[in-house]
Each structure stands twice: as C-alpha cells, then as structure tokens.
Structure 1
Amino acid sequence: MECRLNIKDKIHWIGVNDRETTLFENYWPLEKGVAYNSYIINDDKVAILDTVKFNKTTEYLEKIKEIIGDKPVDYLIVNHMEPDHSGSMLALLSTYPEMKIVGNKKTFPFIEGFYGITKNFYEVGDGDSLELGHHKLTFHLTPMVHWPETMMTYDETSKVLFSMDAFGGFGSLDGGIFDDEINYEFYEDETRRYYSNIVAKYSPMVQRALKKVGSLDIQIVAPTHGPVWRTNPGEIISLYDKWSRFEAEEGVVIIYGSMYGNTAKMADYLARIIAEQGIKNVKVFDASKTHTSYILSDVWKYKSVVIGSCAYNTKVFSSVATVLEKFRNSGLKDRYVSVFGNKSWSGGGVSGIDAFVEEIGWEKIGQSIEATYSPKEAEFKALQELGKEIAARLKTDYPE
C-alpha cells in the first residue's frame, strides 16, 4: 500500500527517488540522489503534471493506479521536456491511449523528436486555462528557463504553482517531501548547486519568469526536483531572485591546481591570512579533486574568488582550465577575482588566468602573484598583502 502524499485539494505527489544514478545528465555528481517530482490532480477530469525518468516508470505507474484506480487520465501537462521529466510519457500514453498531451507550440516538436509521438496534442498559449472540474489551471510560458519550451502551470483553485525545473534542486526526498519536514540547510546547498550548474546560464530569463508569475497568489511551489514548498514558498522564490541577480555573501573561494604542492602551499597560506583578518567563510578547493559543480555553487554564494594554477605545458593546469570554462559558460557576474600561481621552466598558468579575468570582466583585487620553482619570502609577503586587501574590500561591502 502506497503512502498517499496529498499536496492540497486532491493534488497528490507521485514522484520517485533516484538513488542509483551516480551522475545527473552523466556529468553532475548525485552523492545524495535526486527526486523526480510528478503530480496528479484527481478531479472530475484527471490531470498529471510531468512524468519521471524512464528508470522509474514501473513504480510511477503503480502510484497513479493507487490514486485513481480504473479512472482514465484525461490530460498530461508537459511543463518541460527533458527526459528526466518526460521519460515515462510513452508508457503513460500506452496505458491511457486517450490521454491528451498538453503543451505549447514549442513542446510538440520535442515530443515527436524524442518519442515519435504525433497524436493527442492539446496546444495552449500564454495565459490559457484548462478546467478540470473544481480545479482551474492556467499556463504561463517561461521560455529558456532553461529550455525553449518550458512553462509553468498554476492551479487557481488551490494556489499551487507547478514550476517544472525552476525552484528545484538535487537531493533525494528522504521521507520529508515538504519544506517544513526537511533539513533546510542541506537542501539550500543542493538547490544552489542545481541552480548554478543547470539553470544559471539563463539567469536573465529567470528574472523575466519571476516577474511574470510575481502577480500570482502562490501558496505552494511544486517543482520537478527537490522539496515542495508549502510553508514558506516565498523563501525559494527569494533565493532564485537573489541567485539570478548574482547577489553574493561575504566570503572567499580559493581554487587551485598543483602538481607538486607549491601552488597548494600558496593557497593554504593565503587562506590563513584571510581568516586572520576575520573572514569566516573561506573555502579552498583543489580543482583536481573537487567536481566543478561544487566549486561553482560556492562561487555563486560568495563574493570573492581567488584562482591559482601551476604552469602546465605553458598553459593553465588542466583541472583549473576546466573550472574557468565552466565559469565562462555560467554567465556569472559581479565577483571579485585575484590570481596566483607557480612556474618552473616556463610560465603560462598565471598569464592564462589573467587572460580569463580580462575576458570575464570581474573586478580584480591585487596584482597577480607568481612564484618560480617554489614560493619564497617575496611571494609569501605578496600573498599576505593580497589577503589583507581581499578581506578589507569584503568588510567594506559587508559591514557588521
């Protein structure tokens, strides 16, 4: 017997947890799993909002049967077409062949392209509505948050916003489905990691979407990943607003790549100097050991970034270069940046980072510091001055 999870007024959570997949989109680590959220409204007409990934289809169909029994599914509302949300569409259509597939005009080419489905389409436009009986749904197109076809569905009756990937995050739902049942700090971190790596490139479109749904009376936010926000939906909306405006907190993220420990020694020394100046949020990452998704998440959180690299075949060390490319692709703005590194018979590490800094347009603090063979008194003195300068700038921006 399934434990029915009622969201509100005959709206049920029929999502699933995936703790088996190790890499989301075959790239992002899922150390804490991920949830694929789907919802069903059991009204005069039955509507399902998004499906789940194909590896959970059997469990998913069982949940639907448990709630509606022999009733047909009248509508499948497709807010987003990525396969982790549309992967059970074919199985659902096979089980309910008369089901109408609701989407906007950009949705249907994705459906045909992914699954070869060409029938049962029910097109809706921005602001259109669909009545299920007691419930009335309206559709709000939010293109490029973060695919061209994305939209949100709002239930006017229950004041629930079905927000697809927006307001979602990594992490399986381990018993707690709602925001008042979870460890908030953990899910905030995993939601920011999700945002910064999956959605962030489209932050201007996120701002546009927030303005579009801002006039709605939203009492519950029901995304396709992460917890359902029923007690404090304004919190997750506020976080998305903050992140999409590139707002940051006081703190420093130091990222380095080191072959034989010399650049690592510089990173540790700089971190200690900054901490001595009273900056408590100092994170140090070895780019060769920590996945870029965690690094970018903390860079999205904190204002100051320090990047260090040894020279490697006259270039930036490869693991650091990977991080820099991710920064470029993310579209992140309004950060401070500082540069350090080490060379032996050739340069290329520090100069390569300098080229990145000029390209990305972040405000640089201090002069670049480059040691030769290993850091010596001159470099440690320069790092000491740099650490003090970074801390002083942060204290000016974030007075106690």
Structure 2
Amino acid sequence: MNRPAKISDKTWWIGVNDRTTDLFEALWPLPNGISYNSYLLDDDKVAVIDGVKSDFYPHYIENIKRIIGSGKTVDYMIVNHVEPDHSGAVEMMLQAFPDMTVVGNSKTIQYLSQFYGDIPKSLEVKDGDTLDLGSHKLTFALIPMVHWPETMVTYDNNTGCLFSCDAFGSFGALDGGLFDDQLDLESYRGETYRYFSNIVGKYSTFVEKALAKIQDLGIELTMVCPSHGPVYRKNPAYIVDFYRDMACQRTDPAALVVYGSMYGNTARLAEAVAKGLREGGLLDVVVRNSSKTETSELVRDAWRCRGLILVGCSYNGGVFPKIAHFMGTLEGKKMANRFIGVCGSYTWSKGAAMKPMRVFADQPCWTKVGPEIEVLSRPSESDLDQGSELGRNMAHMILSSNGCSSQS
C-alpha cells in the first residue's frame, strides 16, 4: 500500500508502510514491518485523523494532495493519540496548512505542546463532543490508558467507521491490501498477539472499560480503522472480539516451556516436560530456547498460553540471565489466570536458579503446579521422570480449566 485508498463515502486511507524501522519503540523487532494508518475525510471541511511517523512525511503530504488538490486545505487534524509515530507529522502539517486546527482533548493539547511547542490553533473536545464537517459528523470518546492517558477514538456517525488509533492495531505492514477481506488474517494473528501483549497488555483493564464504553454508545460499527494493521470492513467484530478475549486474558489450552541451558543438560529437562505435556493430552505445546527466541515473542506466547513452565540453570549465583530477563518483563504485564511450574539446575550453588523462579511463581497472579524439580549438574532418569510428571500435571490443570478471567 503506497497510494490513497477510498474506504467509505468521502473517506480515504492515506497511510504508509514502514519496512525500514528495525525496532518499534526502539524495543520490539519488526520483521514484517508495520503500517502507520492515517485517514482523511474530504467533506465541506477537510479532516485528517491521526498522522504518520515524521520520516514518511513527504509521501504522506503527497497522498493528502492527491485527494484534495491545490484548491483546498486541511481544516482539522484530529489527534487520537500523541505518541510520535502518529503525531510526528504535526509540525510539518502546520507548516503546509497554517490555518489548520488541531483537535484533541485537554491532555492531547498539553502533550502536543510538550513535544512540538505552541499549537497556534487547537480545539479541545470532551467525551461525547461532536465535530460537523458537512455531511459527516464525528463523535469523540475518551479511552484513557489504552495505552496513554490522552487516548481517544473518533466515530463517524454517517458511515459507522470507528477510527481507533492504537486500539485494535497490529504489527505487520500491509502487503498490497488494506482490508480484512483482502488479506490473510491468520498471517496477522500472531503479530496482533505480539502487539497487544507487549504494547497494550499491561492496560487490559482499561481496554475492557474502553470496549464497554464503545458498546454503551450504542454505535453500530461498519468498519474498524486502527492506526496499525488491517482495516476491518467485512467483519469488524473479528478484531473487537479478538481484543476482548486478549483483554480479559482468555487463554488457549496450551503450554509454553521456556528454558535456559548453557550446555544442553537443562534443555533435556525441558524436553522431558514437553513429553509429559503431550502424554497428558495437550496438543498445543510450545518449547522455546530463551537464548534464541526474542523476548517479545516469548511474551506473546505467554499471553496466549494457559500454562507456563520455566526451566533455568544457575548462572553467577542466580538464574540464567535470559530467564531472569523474561521473568522481569512478564512482571510488568499484569498477567493472570495462568498456571506455572518451575525447574532448575545447579552444580555448586544449590537454590541459585530456583530461588528467583520460586519468588516469581509465588506471586498471586499464578497458580503453581508441581512437582518442583532441582537438578544437580545433569538430570538423572528420576529427574526426567519428574519432569514428565510436571508436564502431565500441567496438562491436566490446563485442560480442566476454562481459561478466562475478566480483570475489570
């Protein structure tokens, strides 16, 4: 996608694909790129809804001028979310359209001024306020902490389009198509999980509140237009339901085994656990080497799976660093409604690996499954049998639970 695409009456997609940035937010790898979706309503008054990363401004302004030509101007730029991958073009937009009014709530205007200095013309909107463009009337709804305090959505009362910014977004550039009926949504499913779990997951309670608020507005969605990923016109309920499931932490009957092993001995214990999970009747088993799997992928898998088993060797008086980093990352995600098991190994520092994993597993957000296994140097046949027992016990717990817990 590199040219404007009409999505509804007088409504255009004017976004860009980014296949050059390596790390989103300087943290999360983008092997499949990402899109920055921006939208334009070419009515009596012209409104742009959200922008793009400033690196892509020349292409962006070209898209705008393709639609409105040289005889019109952009009257409003609606900022649903101030994060610079959406607001980065504001400064240059004000240079191109000096009479443009920037629209946002009170926090939006404050944050924009912190990033870009004085905004010459701004319109502060509150929950439920409307903006009349002519044949299109826009309503604003504030959804704070999804995932910044100022976040809001914009709803077009005439077309039923919800412009949701980061809500309902996904990693992954748009491969030649824009809409859900032009793309293979299964190919985006994993990247939607990864986006939600790493970017939005911590704020799941606020996502649930936002979903309830949108429902309470009594609006009928004909289209969901996020700022990253596909636009949903054929089945907007698909992405709304997907986000609802992720926000309420509805998990799949699956187990994630994450291990850290320097010489393969601890890895043997992880394999025994995986064997036990299969013996217990679990079909969805994911085994990850923490040294080779990127952290955001581990977080994605942990968010999806109902069970997690950590298998770590000791290292410098503690647990293997990659396991320690993974645990620290998960602690910030406010996960719940999952089962956990832990296994460790040591040669001379008994408890070095197990102690931090126990502390992590003893948090109230987890339900612990045994047995705990601590291996001396190299797993014996008895140790491997215990690993399989842990796997079978975990499979039983996973298959006997329903995997959903609302956080609200």
Q: TM-score, normalised by structure 1?
A: 0.97
Letter in 2 for 1:377: E
**1:348-367 → structure 2 map (5 Å cutoff):** 348-367=352-371
Contact 2:49 2:80 in 1 (8 A): yes
CA distance in 2: counterparts of 1:10 and 1:30, whole angstroms: 32
SS of the residue 1:341 aligns to: strand
Shift of the alpha carbon at 1:3?
Answer: 4.2
Shift of the alpha carbon at 1:361?
Answer: 3.0
Deviates more, 1:118-127 or 1:164-173: 118-127
Match of 1:177 in 2: 178
Shift of the alpha carbon at 1:213?
Answer: 0.5
Contact 1:337 1:357 in 2 (8 A): yes
Match of 1:280 in 2: 283
**1:1-400 → structure 2 map (5 Å cutoff):** 3-70=3-70, 71-214=72-215, 215-346=218-349, 347-397=351-401
Letter in 2 for 1:112: S
The CA RMSD measured in Å over matched residues stands at 1.2
Letter in 1 for 2:273: L
Q: Deviations over 1:238-280 (max 9, x none)?
A: 0111111111011100011111111111111211221233312
CA distance in 2: counterparts of 1:137 and 1:361, whole angstroms: 41
Letter in 1 for 2:378: S
Q: Deviations over 1:304-353 (max 9, x none)?
A: 10011101112121111111011110011110000012111103111210
Question: Which 5+ residue runs of structure 1 have no aligned equivalent?
Answer: none
Match of 2:406 in 1: none
CA distance in 1: counterparts of 2:316 and 2:357, whole angstroms: 14
SS of the residue 1:179 aligns to: coil
Letter in 1 for 2:347: S
Q: TM-score, normalised by structure 2?
A: 0.96
Deviates more, 1:273-282 or 1:147-156: 273-282
SS of the residue 1:282 aligns to: strand
Contact 2:178 2:230 in 1 (8 A): yes
Q: Deviations over 1:333-377 (max 9, x none)?
A: 110000012111103111210011113530011121110011002
Contact 1:160 1:222 in 2 (8 A): yes
Give the count of matched residue pairs: 398
Shift of the alpha carbon at 1:398?
Answer: 6.0
Letter in 2 for 1:148: P
Q: Deviations over 1:113-168 (max 9, x none)?
A: 11113321110000000000000000000111000110000000000000010000
SS of the residue 2:306 aligns to: strand
SS of the residue 2:66 aligns to: helix
CA distance in 2: counterparts of 1:166 and 1:4, whole angstroms: 22
Q: Identity percentage over the alignment?
A: 45
CA distance in 2: counterparts of 1:316 and 1:275, whole angstroms: 27
SS of the residue 2:77 aligns to: strand
SS of the residue 1:106 aligns to: helix
SS of the residue 2:299 aligns to: helix
Letter in 1 for 2:281: G
CA distance in 1: counterparts of 2:55 and 2:283, whole angstroms: 43
Contact 1:46 1:74 in 2 (8 A): yes
Contact 2:371 2:389 in 1 (8 A): no
SS of the residue 1:355 aligns to: helix
CA distance in 1: counterparts of 2:4 and 2:114, whole angstroms: 34
Question: Which 5+ residue runs of structure 2 have no aligned equivalent?
Answer: 404-408
CA distance in 1: counterparts of 2:142 and 2:175, whole angstroms: 31
Letter in 1 for 2:21: T
SS of the residue 2:309 aligns to: strand
SS of the residue 1:250 aligns to: strand
Contact 1:308 1:350 in 2 (8 A): no
CA distance in 2: counterparts of 1:61 and 1:240, whole angstroms: 32
Shift of the alpha carbon at 1:190?
Answer: 0.6
Shift of the alpha carbon at 1:55?
Answer: 1.0
Letter in 1 for 2:245: K
Shift of the alpha carbon at 1:394?
Answer: 2.2
Q: Deviations over 1:175-200 (max 9, x none)?
A: 11101111111111111110000001
Contact 1:252 1:282 in 2 (8 A): yes
CA distance in 1: counterparts of 2:375 and 2:213, whole angstroms: 51
